[in-house]
Amino acid sequence: MSTDGPIQVSVNAFKIDDPAFFGQVPDFIKLKIRANSAGNQSMEYYALTVFRDLAAYHFDDKDPQALIDEELQRFSWLERMASLENRDSLYLAALKQFEKAYLIHPGQPIFPMPLPKFYFQLVSNTSRRNLTSTNGT
């Protein structure tokens, strides 16, 4: 019987708890992502290093579409996975900076930014919390 199988990693092995993970491409690709020996086997650690490597690979592309796709995925993933209390504001700031850098690019089709979706979710969540606290449920 083989002992090969999934490696068991502590839930607390690697946390996405550094605001620098929301950094713009030039800063993010230089970032040293550190984890303890158990943490560097976690899926979160691996995913973050893949995002960093993909951003570095596509950073100098003449057509930035692959970089744009990757970065929007990274920001969205971080907004869901980060253990930072201010992750929503970090996400919003990262998107706004990224939009300024890449929205107007000669010959590039306009890409849908997730900002309207984020604002809608923020308002919906706030409305639900207010409704719940008002109704006492």
Q: What is the pLDDT of residues 94-136, one digit of tens each?
A: 988 988 887 665 555 445 556 556 655 666 565 555 545 555 5
Would you say 40 and 14 are in contact if contact means Cβ atoms under 8 Å apart? yes
Q: How far is CA 14 from CA 2, 28, 78, 101, 123, in A?
A: 28, 18, 14, 30, 31
Please report the pLDDT score of residue 53 as a whole number: 97
- Closest CA relative to residue 35, chosen from 21, 22, 24, 25: 21
Least confident of 26-35, 36-45, 76-85: 36-45
pLDDT value at 4 more than 70: no
Q: Provide the residue ranges of all domains of the chain, joining segments of one domain with +.
A: 19-135
| Residue 75 confidence class, pLDDT cut points 50, 70, 90 | very high
Please return the burial class of 39, using the count of CB atoms within 10 Å of its CB with bins 0-12, 13-18 and 19+: middle
Whether pTM > 0.85 for this model: the answer is: no
pLDDT value at 18 more than 70: yes
Q: Tell me, what amino acid is at 67? A: L
What is the Cα–Cα distance from 92 to 100, expressed in whole angstroms? 13
